[in-house]
Structure 1
Amino acid sequence: MTPEPANVVVCPSCGAANIEGSDSCERCLMDLTSIDIPEAAQVLKESDLALPISALRLSRAAKVAPQAAIREAIDLMRRDHVGAVVVVEAGKAVGIFSDRDVLRRVAAVPGALDQPVAAVMTPDPVVLREDDMVAAALNKMGVGGFRHIPVVRDGELIGMLTGRDVLNWVMGRYFD
């Protein structure tokens, strides 16, 4: 009995039809695990990716001054339950300090907690404008490995886009 076309995975190597879920091709034994992805995993529509990020609910950006002690930045992150703070000077985002920075740049340095956050922040952070498309935001997050990106309007900080914000948007749009 031949499987239905909807339940078939075509081997890219030999072109043989295989039952969906097969780990390897029945004809040439090529590994099919990387191409046998259920169609339901492709949830975003192309038109959704063209929406501006202002369509998403942005997180409030936690802010600190460059001269604030690292200890203060960590306390703010812990108190507000956020993974990053934006370092702001004269209303402009001049840096970002994240939980990754705590682990990579602070944890192993004795006495670092009393240094200014400017000493360990990532300077000149990648930012998004509120009218950037969702696709651009996802690209910046994926390519840069970012979980937090400050969002600006006319250069002024207005919020933070987090991986959680994007996931909540997808879940609310497709799974409510």
Structure 2
Amino acid sequence: MATVETILKTKGKAVYSVTPATTILDALKLMAEKDIGAVMVMEGDKVMGIFSERDYARRGTLQGNPVTTPVKDVMTHKVYYVGPEQSAEACMAQMIDKHFRHLPVVKDGKVVGVISIGDVVKTILSDKETLIKGLENFLVGRDFKQ
């Protein structure tokens, strides 16, 4: 069963962040440039929240001008985390239950990566495909011996 660490080895451990004072527009530019759906909102090493495309769609368009409004006004303040040892299946369950698409990965109190629902789904599908191929090979080998 794949873990968060496995996902990070595949996708990389880059953590993109902005400060609470960063404007919505600047955060969106960074997200577009890096082709990501969310950025961590941090003051130094301290997580203040997470800002996602969903935050912009749900609150950013309604609360002022994206050129002047800081992300702190529209970000998600309650952030859920996972550790590198957590299974991909557990991450998916948490994302579905809490209705979010990005999970910061924390190790020793520090954010070491961010995974998305897409990363998790790809990993789980790959695991299932490997399992199916193994079962097919087992059955074919078994039938061949009889």
Tell me whether 1:102 sits opposite 2:56 in the alignment: yes
Q: Which residue of 2 aligns with 1:154?
A: 108
1: CA distance, partners of 2:123 / 2:3: 12
Q: Quote the offset at 1:133 in angstroms.
A: 2.8
Task: Answer with 79-88 or 125-134: which moved more.
Answer: 125-134
Provide the secondary structure at the position in 1 that maps to 2:67: helix
2: CA distance, partners of 1:131 / 1:94: 24
2: CA distance, partners of 1:63 / 1:128: 18
Q: Which residue of 1 aligns with 2:4?
A: 53
Q: Is the 8 A contact 1:84 1:96 kept in 2?
A: yes
More helix by share: 2
Higher RCO by CA contacts (8 Å cutoff, separation 6 or greater): 2
- How many residues align structurally? 127
Matched to 2:82, the amino acid is L
Q: 1:138 aligns with which of 92, 107, 111?
A: 92
Could you give the per-residue CA deviations for residues 128-171 of structure 1, whole angstroms, max 9, x where no partner exists?
Answer: 11122333312211101111111111121111111111122133
Q: Which residue of 1 aligns with 2:42?
A: 88
Computed over aligned residues only, the root mean square deviation of the Cα atoms, in angstroms, reads 1.9
Tell me whether 1:122 sits opposite 2:76 in the alignment: yes
Q: Is the 8 A contact 2:89 2:124 kept in 1?
A: no
Gaps of 5+ in 2: 131-146
Q: Does the C-alpha gap of structure 1 residues 74 and 122 become closer, same or farther in structure 2, counting only changes over 3 Å?
A: same
Matched to 1:125, the amino acid is V
Q: Please, what TM-score do these two structures have when normalized by structure 2?
A: 0.76
Of structures 1 and 2, the larger Rg is shown by 1
2: CA distance, partners of 1:78 / 1:143: 27
Matched to 1:102, the amino acid is Y
Task: Answer with 107-116 or 89-98: which moved more.
Answer: 107-116
Could you give the per-residue CA deviations for residues 97-152 of structure 1, whole angstroms, max 9, x where no partner exists?
Answer: 11111111111334243122111111131111112233331221110111111111
Q: Percent identity?
A: 30
Q: Please, what TM-score do these two structures have when normalized by structure 1?
A: 0.65
Q: Does the C-alpha gap of structure 1 residues 145 and 124 become closer, same or farther in structure 2, counting only changes over 3 Å?
A: closer
Tell me whether 1:62 sits opposite 2:16 in the alignment: yes
1: CA distance, partners of 2:90 / 2:81: 11
